[in-house]
Amino acid sequence: MTRLIISILLSTFLFCALPIKAQTKDQLYYHLETGITQAGGEHAPLWLTANKYGLSSITKNNGYVLAGIIQPLKGNERFSYGYGLELATAWNFTSSFIVQQAYLDLKWNRFTLSIGSKERAPEFANPELSSGALTLSGNARPIPQVCIGIDDYYTVPHTNNWLAIRGHFAYGRFTDDNWQKSFANAMAKRTRDVLYHSKAFYFRVGNTQKFPMTFEGGLQMETEFGGKQYRNGQVTKFPSKLRDYFEVIIPSAGGSDSPVNDQENIEGNITGSWHAAITYYANNWKLRGYYEHYFEDHSMLAVDYPWIDGLYAVELTLPKNPFVSQILYEYMCSRDQTSPTPDKPSVSVCDNYYNHSMYTGWQHWGMGLGNPLLISPIYNTNGEIYFYDNRVIANHFGITGNPTSEISYRLKFSLSRNFGTYSRPYPKKIWQSYTLAEICYTPTKIPGWQFTASYGTDHGKITGNNHGCMITIRKTGLIK
């Protein structure tokens, strides 16, 4: 611990000694960040760990040092490029050296080609206050990929600014092969060389200059495919020929070289969400309602079952004041999973969210890629990469504010009822709560510095009774 603190201080002073030149057209920034967590209980509190793009640890005492450079894209030019590199060394993490981000962005007109490992924020959920989106929440380490798309809404010509669209199309690869091998027990399922496919399309209807309301909607789909499965000393290979890259675009049954399960169902592990949001603007107020409907395979992609499961959110942005900037409430339900209901008694097979019969589920480096209230496999002590608690009903609250130009705060509270899984239900529901209180100080007299103190607690039998604090120090500056 002493050596970690000394290395943090030395790195900070050395990095801050770099000269900062006057701003030019190309802006190259550096940043150095360190975080130290000290906790009591079984683990570090959930909200000190979750939704940090995997740069965190559930071990109750941990720390990291991160250094990076970022050149953002210039959005107002016909062609531009940007890049980023973030490297971290850590203590009591899943690995001691981490390539957090390493990417190159190329932009031409409205289209962006992004190559590499990059932190990508949830599509609709509030990244600061939300409990996390159901499909991709920013809870796990970034997946290296090649992604082409329209990042910002593009106004469709001849619609008088009433219709805009955006979306993306990507292929990538999971990088947690060695972690899975070290974590899984000798008889447990693990995978290797698994490929990744992502696609999404969103639209926005509304012209705020003529009417103070907009509607957004769209579809997001994610797929695991290819690679190998290791279980009980046996190896199963999944097809990853050029044909398979095309077949996962439109979910369909696997070919003769696929496992029997994929031939009868769908090739690979398919997840995704329908999204819908309504935003109302009134002077300096903004009220936003949001719904995310999660699905796996074909079972809930169409309107065949009651859409009970999902993430429902109401978000209020207030005019500038020294008390509260934003208030968020979310209701999240993953309990039903297309199970039998009174109006659908014939349904005999239910989904098993984030789990899969052939793959190790919707996780990366042990952290769930979706909402962290469905507790990640990294918490398991039996060496199985499995989500044992994917049937959850949760109420979540978030508040943020800026009392002064130098001080901001954030509060989060989640209360969940946990039911286990359909195949391994809890004898009775288990209540669990998670809290976060955070204050951030950005002094104007020493530009570029930011100091954050966070305190979190967990109460219940899901992650244990935990409490702890985290101190984060960040220094940013302009190199070019």
Region 256-275 average pLDDT: 71
The total of other beta-carbon atoms located within 10 Å of residue 371's CB is 31
The answer to whether 177 and 192 have CB atoms below 8 angstroms apart is: yes
Assess whether pLDDT exceeds 60 at residue 7. Answer: no
Mean pLDDT of 198-208: 97
Across 189-195, average pLDDT: 97
Residue 420 has pLDDT above 70, yes or no: yes
Q: What is the pLDDT of residue 346?
A: 46
pLDDT tens per residue across span 41-85: 999 999 999 999 999 999 999 999 999 999 999 877 889 999 999
pLDDT at 25 (0 to 100): 63
Q: Give the span between the Cα atoms of 61 and 369, in whole angstroms.
A: 23
Per-residue pLDDT reduced to its tens digit, 100-128: 999 999 999 999 999 999 999 998 999 99
The CA-atom distances, in angstroms, between 240 and each of 194, 208, 283, 372, 426 are 9, 46, 53, 30, 38
**For 353-366, how does the pLDDT look when each residue is reduced to its tens digit (9 = 90+)?**
999 999 999 999 99
Residue 235 has pLDDT above 80, yes or no: yes
For residue 434, what pLDDT is reported? 98
pLDDT interval class at 202 (50, 70, 90): very high
**pLDDT for 436 beyond 80:** yes
Which of 233, 123, 102 shows the shortest CA–CA distance to 175?
Answer: 102
Model pLDDT, residue 308: 82
CA-based angle 114:115:118, to the nearest 5? 80
Q: Is the per-residue pLDDT at 24 higher than 60?
A: no
CB atoms within 10 A of CB 449: 17
pLDDT of 327 above 90: yes
Does position 245 have pLDDT exceeding 80, yes or no? yes
- Going by C-alpha positions, the residue among 351, 357, 380, 358 that lies closest to residue 368 is 380
Give SS3 for 64: strand
Tell me what percent of the residues of the chain surpass a pLDDT of 90: 80
| Range of weakest confidence among 16-20, 235-239, 302-306 | 16-20
Q: Which of 157, 272, 290, 297 is nearest to 219 (CA)?
A: 272
pLDDT of residue 263: 46
Identify whether the C-beta of residue 286 lies closer than 8 Å to the C-beta of residue 317. yes
* Amino acid 304: pLDDT: 59
| Mean pLDDT estimate for the chain | 90
Query: Does residue 12 have a pLDDT over 70?
Result: no
In terms of pTM, does the model score above 0.85?
Answer: yes
Which amino acid is present at 241? Answer: K
| pLDDT bucket at 296, cuts 50 / 70 / 90 | confident
Give the range among 340-354, 436-450, 459-473 with minimum mean pLDDT: 340-354
- If one compares 190 and 255, the residue with the highest pLDDT of the two is 190
Whether the pLDDT of residue 2 is over 70: the answer is no
